[in-house]
Amino acid sequence: KYNQGLEFQQDENFYAASQYYLEVVKDNPAFTEAWYKLAECSYKLGEFDLALQYLENAEKYERNNTKIQNLKGMVYVSLGQIEEAQKIFNDILKKAPNDIDAHFGLAEIELYEGRFSGAEDEYMEALRRQNTNRKALLSLALVYAERGNFNQANANLRQALSYYSGEAEVHYLASIIYSIEGDYITAEKQARIAVEVNSNYDKAYDMLSTVLY
């Protein structure tokens, strides 16, 4: 059941994945990873209060798990509880300065508060620690594109595409970035590649509609 949940989650069918994970924790309430995956799915679906409940269940069995703490911080950001989120990320970095997800969390706070340069610094910090990190490369590309620095955006984007050309999400985000730049031909191409890689990737179809019409 857990593996079936993983398959549905990989395809971004978060509702179906959640049903399998719920069956898992019903059979084994101490299965921390299943609680964490339930929280991930709820977070993706925008069900933030529910995500917090699942994370609290996970914490009963693994209180000091930084993965759980990082997701909890991201949920707090989404709920607008910035002080709580910032404390979580800073506490993690005091113990583990190289924790990339905590840097991403602080970057999200900077973006939430409209400080693009601060977000850029945190993404760069993450990239220094792992220079092929997909999320850091794509997030930086988005930040640069939003700020009109298209040369730097394209440099990061090319890196991400060279490392992760087989991932639909990368091409989808590339489509968004090219669309921001006004290059709708390349944006359409990237959205079509995303669909070819994963025919169930609904967001890529939405992006195609946007750039075509």
Angstrom distance (rounded) from CA 187 to CA 57: 42
Contacts 24+ apart (CB under 8 A), 189-193: none
Those residues of the chain that have pLDDT short of 70 are 204-205, 208-209, 211-213
Helix (H, G, I), strand (E, B) or coil at 114: coil
pTM of the model: 0.79
Do the Cβ atoms of 150 and 160 come closer than 8 Å?
A: no
Q: For 94-151, write each residue's pLDDT tens digit.
A: 999 889 999 999 999 998 888 888 888 888 888 888 888 888 899 899 999 988 899 9
Measured distance CA(73)–CA(69) in Å, rounded? 6
- State residue 28 phi and psi, 5-degree precision: -140, 85
Residue 194, pLDDT score: 87
Whether the CA torsion 93, 95, 98, 101 is positive or negative: it is negative
**pLDDT for 35:** 95
The rounded Cα 165 to chain-centroid distance in angstroms is: 17
Q: Residue 128 has what pLDDT?
A: 87
CB 3 within 8 A of CB 11: no
pLDDT of residue 79: 92
CB-based contact 108:89 (threshold 8 Å): no
The pLDDT score that the predictor gives to residue 127 is 86
Q: Residue 100 has what DSSP assignment? A: H
Distance CA 161, CA 115 (A): 27
Distance (Å, whole) CA 181 – CA 187: 9
